[in-house]
Chain A
Amino acid sequence: MKDQPDDTKDQPDDASNRDTIGSGGFVSRLRSLDRGRVGLYLALLAMVGFYLTPIETGLVTSLKTNQAVIETAPYAPPGPSGFTLEKWQTAIDQLLRGMGNSMLYAVPATAISAFFGSLAAYGLTVADWSKRYKAPLLALFVAGIFIPYQAVLVPLSQFWGQYVQLGQNLGFVWALGIDNDYAGIIELVTTHVAYGIPICTILFRSYYKTLSTEMIESARLDGASLRRVYRRIVLPLSTPMFAVVLIYQFTQIWNDLLFTLVLVATESSPAAPVVLILAGLGTGMEGTDFPLRMAGAFFTALPTLAVYIAFGEEFAEGVTT
C-alpha cells in the first residue's frame, strides 16, 4: 500500500517531469517502475474498486432522498437537492431499541463461548491425561462445528418451547416488570454459547498447542495447580487468540437472523434484536425504501466494525500464530 501514491501519479509522468519544484528522487523512482509493477498496481487498484463499489453505492444511497434514488445512478453521489440525513434519522430511531436487545445477548454469548472454548481447549491440550480419551472428545468438538443451523431449528424450538419453558420457569423475573419476551434473549445467549463452543475450542486448541510445554511444567514445579496455571499463565497469554475469537463470534452472533427468527420471532416484540427489525425496515405496501434500508444496514453493522477496530492489533497477532 505504501507505493500506491506513486502509482496514482503514474499517468501524468510528463507533467511531473516538468515539475521544477518536484524532487529528482521521486522522478527517478517513477522511471524505475517497470511495466510489470505498473500492471500489478493497476490490477490491485481495480480490485479495490471492485470490492469498494457496493459499499460506496450503499453509503451514497443512504444519503439520498427517494426522488434522488430514481434520478441518479446508484453509485453517483446525490446532488445538493437530493441530499438528506432524514433516512439515517429514521433508521436510528427505529433500530436503536433493537441495538440494545442485540447487545444484551451478543456480548454475553460472545464472552461466555470464548471463555468456555478456552477452558475446554486447555483441558484438551495442556492438562495431562491420556490421549486415548482426548481424541474422541476432540472429534466431538470438531463435529460440533459442522452442524448446520437449519438442521437444529425444529429441535431447538421444541427444546425451548416444550422442555425448558423459560417464559414460565422464570416467573419471578417477569414479576419485576420485565417483559417476558426477554426470555428469548436468554434462550439466544444459551443457544449461541452452545453453538459457539466447538469453534472456539478448536481455535484456542491450535493456539495452546504452540505454548511451551516446559513453561507449563515449570509453573507446575513452581507449585501451581492445574487451575492456577490456567488462571495465571495460560489465560493471560491467550489475549491474541481471545481477540480473534471475540471478533469472529461477535460478528457471527450479531449478524445471525435464523435463531432470532425462531426464538424471538416478531419484530414488534420489545425484545426484538436489531437484525429482526432490520429485516422489516423500509419494506411496505408502497415499495422498498432503498435509502432507509441502506442506512439501517450501515447503522446495524457499526458495532461489528467497532469490535474489529478495538481488537485489531491483537487480532493481527492472533491470526499469525
Chain B
Amino acid sequence: MATLELDTVTKVYQESDDRIVAVDGISLSIDDGEFLVVVGPSGCGKSTMLRMVAGLESITDGVIRLDGQVINNVKSQDRDIAMVFQSYALYPHMTVEGNMSFGLEESTDMPDSEIASRVGDTAEMLDIAELLNRKPGELSGGQQQRVALGRAIVRDPKVFLMDEPLSNLDAKLRSQMRTELQRLQEELGVTTVYVTHDQTEAMTMGDRIAILNDGELQQVATPLEAYHEPANLFVAGFIGEPSMNFFEMEVQGDRLSGDLFDYRLSEEARETVNDVTHVTLGIRPEDVEIVADGSGDHDFNAVVDVVEPMGNENNVYLSFEADGETDLVATIDGMRSLDAGQPVVARLPESAIHLFDTESGTVLKNRSLDGREETEPRV
C-alpha cells in the first residue's frame, strides 16, 4: 500500500535525428488504495507511462515517487510493484503454483511453508485452487488471466499495474472479471493503476480516470465528472458512446452561427463565451430530444436517416436536410419507434450543451446538472 506520484514525467525516444515524445510532462498523484484508470486511444503513451512506473522504461525527465521516495533509479526488481500484462506472460514451464510462488521466492526470504500457504490462500480467493498443479498451457484464457492476477496479488506489492489485462477475454468473461477485479481491489486496498482503451472499463472500474492523448494528460477526474464536465474537446469526444455531437460555430452577438443551423444563447451562456469568436457546440446524444413539432429557439427540423435499435434504446441518426449526411446522433427510448425518412424536430436544450473554444479545445461552458435526476453515464 502506497501513494504514487508522477511529477512532470517525460519520455522521449531519440532515434537518430527523430525526437518522438511518447509521454509529455505528466503529473499525477494517486492516493493510497486508489484505483486509477488510465484511458486513451492507442499510441497515446499510456502503456509507456505504466512501464516507466514499473521501471521497464527509463525516464527521460521528471520524477516518480513511491511513498515519497524517488524511484527513478531503482531497478524493477527492487520496486515492489506487480504488473499484470495483456498477454498474461505466465512462465510456461512452471505449474500454476510455481508461477504464483516465483515472486515470493525471488523477492522475499519467506520460508517455503509460508509461501505455500499464501499461494494456497490466494488461489482459494481467485477460485483456482484446483488448478495449482497444472501448467499454463493446459488452462483456458480466463483461467490464465486469474493465474496472472494471482501472481500479482500473492506478493502483496505496494502497487498493482495492469496493462489491458482483460482485453484478451471474450465479452461475457470480461464483464465478469471487471466486477471481480473491482471487488478484489476494494478488498485488498492496494493502489492500482489500470491502463485500458476500453470505455466501459474506464467508466465503471476506477475511482478516478486519467485521460491521455498524444502523451499529454487531458483530464483527471471521477468518471462522472469526466463525462459531464469534460475539460476539453478531446475528453468530451472520447468519453461516451455514441460520442458527443459537435458543431463548429461562429459567435455573432448572442447567436452562434453554423453551417447547419443557428443557435441562440441566453445571456448567462453568452457570458461564458466572452470574446472567443469560434466555438464548438457539443451535446450528448441522450440529451437531444426528439419532439413531434416545435418552433422554439432550440428546435430544428431534421429527417431520420438511420435507426439503430439497441434494445433498451435506439440510436437515431438525423440529418438536417433530406438525403443529406448524418449531422446529429440522438439516443431515444427503445420502445419509441421512428422510421428512416421520417421528418422530426430535434430539440437541443440549452441546459445540456457544452461550449468549447474551437482553437484551443478548452471548455468554456459545461452542461448544467441542476435539476437532473439521471446522472448515470451512458457508455
Q: Is the CB of B56 within 8 A of A225?
A: no
A79 CB to nearest B CB, Å: 56
A residues sitting closer than 8 Å to B (CB atoms) are 212, 214-215, 217-225, 228, 232-233, 236-237
A/B interface sample: 11 pairs, CB < 8 A: A214-B87, A214-B89, A215-B89, A215-B91, A217-B54, A217-B76, A217-B89, A221-B83, A222-B77, A223-B107, A237-B93
User: For window 278-292 of chain B, which residues contact chain A by CB distance below 8 Å?
Assistant: none
Check A233–B77 contact: CB distance below 8 A.
no
Number of interface residues of B (CB under 8 A): 26
- B101-130: contact bitstring with A at CB < 8 Å (1 yes, 0 no)? 011001110000000000000000000000
Q: Which of B54-83 touch A at CB < 8 Å?
A: 54-56, 75-79, 81-83
Interface of chain A, main secondary structure: helix
- Once the chains bind, are B90 and A215 in contact (CB under 8 Å)? yes
What is the bound-complex CA distance between A188 and B302, given in angstroms?
Answer: 90
Q: Are the CB atoms of A217 and B90 closer together than 8 Å?
A: no
Please name all residues of chain B whose beta carbon is closer than 8 Å to the beta carbon of A225 when the two chains form the complex: 77
Q: How far is the CB of A246 from chain B (nearest CB, A)?
A: 19
Residues on A with C-beta less than 8 A from B107 are 222-223
Cβ contact within 8 Å between B54 and A221: yes
On B, residues with C-beta under 8 Å from A are 54-56, 75-79, 81-83, 85-87, 89-93, 102-103, 106-108, 151, 155
Known: A221-B77, A222-B77. A236 touches B89 (CB 8 A): no
Task: Give complex CA distance A220, B89 in Å.
Answer: 12
Interchain CB contact (< 8 A) of B92 among A217, A223, A224, A237: A237
Contacts of B77 in A (CB 8 A): 220-225
**In the complex the two chains form, what is the Cα distance from A174 to B85 in whole Å?**
58
Contacts of B86 in A (CB 8 A): 214
Q: Which residues does chain B contribute within 8 Å of A232, judged by CB atoms?
A: 102, 106
The 6 nearest A-B residue pairs measured at CB: A223-B107, A222-B103, A214-B89, A223-B106, A218-B89, A224-B106
Scoring A217, A223, A233 by chain B CB atoms within 10 A of each residue's CB, the highest score goes to A223
State in angstroms the CA–CA spacing of A108 and B372 once bound together. Answer: 81
Contacts of B90 in A (CB 8 A): 215
- Name the residue on A nearest B107 (C-beta): A223
Beyond A221-B55, A221-B56, list 6 extra A-B contacts (CB 8 Å): A212-B89, A215-B91, A215-B92, A217-B54, A221-B79, A222-B82
Question: Closest Cβ of chain B: how far from A295's Cβ, in Å?
Answer: 44
**Chain A residues near B55 (CB, 8 Å)?**
221
